[in-house]
Chains A and B, each alone.
Chain A
Amino acid sequence: EVQLVESGGGLIQPGGSLRLSCAASGFTFSSYWMHWVRQPPGKGLVWVSRINSDGSSISYADSVKGRFTISRDNAKNTLFLQMNSLRADDTAVYYCARYSSAYHATDNWGQGTLVTVSS
């Protein structure tokens, strides 16, 4: 069974940093592209970033470019999102999701981790 488990969220002051992790199991992690998507409280889904299977190709939303860094450790089956210079509008539930290159869609999502940026 595919499992994606996010961790690392919490309350952080504006300007601070957090590192989110997504532990993957039940599939060959190193073969899949991975995405981060966020959802501000009571609002819609917003795509954040994606990374290809070996980490050589990365893309970001403009709203996080230069502040967030996506990475992965295929030996540890883990996806990361390093978030720096956090702002109040980064407050959201952050989901990691597996991308199916066969279907060209994200077919499995974690339960999400809440990041709250507030003083």
Chain B
Amino acid sequence: DIVMTQSPDSLAVSLGERATINCKSSQSFLYSSNNKTYLAWYQQKVGQPPKLLIYWASTRESGVPDRFSGSGSGTDFTLTISSLQAEDVALYYCQQYYTTPHTFGQGTKLEIK
């Protein structure tokens, strides 16, 4: 199974500052046929289901604010929130869709400092 490891487990950032969450996979999952990396990022607020933020490692889902961005390749990926807003307090997860089981990272809790 592909192991997804997020860091840090929790993060406190001041409003307006940058937040960076990392996700490392135990193996690379780039589909050579289409040159796409099947990695997604989700945001989960308290009491709500997860919401898709980013797919293909760096493409923002429709309606997601542009302060959210995804980057990375190979085995190392990053979710960046360029200017933290109060409504961004949530848990964030990465997940790979390269192969089953479609493993998630353990999650990163983002709070306001």
Contact = CB atoms under 8 A, between A and B. Distances in A.
B56 A46 contact: no
A48 B103 CA distance: 9
Interface string A68-109: 000000000000000000000000000100001001111101
Nearest to B40: A105
B90 interface: no
A67 to B, nearest CB: 15
Interface string B36-64: 10101010100011111001100101000
Contacts of B56: 103-105
Contacts of B44: 45
Contact of B104 (A44, A62, A109, A112): A44
B49 A109 contact: yes
A24 B93 CA distance: 25
Interface of B: 36, 38, 40, 42, 44, 48-52, 55-56, 59, 61, 91, 93, 95, 97, 100-107
Given A44-B106, A47-B101, 8 more contacts: A44-B91, A45-B42, A47-B95, A47-B102, A59-B101, A105-B95, A110-B49, A111-B49
